[in-house]
Amino acid sequence: MISLKVVDVKTLMAELLVRDLFDHFLLSELEIITSNYFKVSGKLYKEFYSSDELELIKGRDHSYWKEIKPIAFNIIKGNKMPLSMKLVLMLPLASVGSIVEKANIGLSSSDINGMFLNFIFENGEVICTTGTSIKVFTLDKTLDNLWDEMAVSFLKGKEIAVEEL
């Protein structure tokens, strides 16, 4: 796990709320404080969907960020910045499986709860924290370190400047 300070907040917020850079991530959690407190769990409630709709979800347990992003944008848009925002995104299971397979660390994708990017916006600053959640006990930090490196590379590769804290 590492913490990164986002140098260009405006670029990151545009990527999160307007562009499609993070659309393929799943939403774990969203909290926004403006004039009210808004909290969205990304968890899908499958009993809400018809059998045809469940086919389209393809076994996902969480919404894609692109499905919730318009709601977040509508809460935030206006002349005032939110007081704070917390956004927790996670990699889809297929991406986790690919990373675990390439890492050759003795874990399978079923051993992983998730690989996360946590964005906290407060006082005009954004801190991004990486994280992994593993279902089995291991002292091996290879997956954590790999995810940290991949997250930094992803952000910098998309011209989102970050500084490690």
Per-residue pLDDT tens over the stretch 84-115: 999 999 999 889 988 888 888 888 888 899 99
The residue-averaged pLDDT of 57-68 equals: 92
The residue-averaged pLDDT of 143-158 equals: 94
Instruction: Provide the residue type at 8 as one letter.
Output: D
Predicted confidence (pLDDT) at residue 137 exceeds the cutoff of 90 = no
The residue-averaged pLDDT of 48-69 equals: 91
Q: How many separate domains does the chain show? A: 1
Predicted confidence (pLDDT) at residue 163 exceeds the cutoff of 90 = yes
Predicted confidence (pLDDT) at residue 78 exceeds the cutoff of 90 = no
**Structural domain boundaries, residue 35:** 3-164
pLDDT at site 1: 92
The residue-averaged pLDDT of 40-48 equals: 95
pLDDT at site 162: 95
Distances (CA, A) of 75 to 6, 30, 81, 116, 139: 22, 12, 10, 23, 41
In this structure, of 30-34, 56-60, 73-77, the range with the lowest mean pLDDT score is 56-60
pLDDT at site 107: 83
> What is the Cα 122 distance to its own chain's centre?
17
Cross-strand partners of 3:
129
Contact 115, 100 (CB under 8 A): no
pLDDT at site 108: 82
- Confidence category of residue 164, pLDDT binned at 50, 70, 90: very high
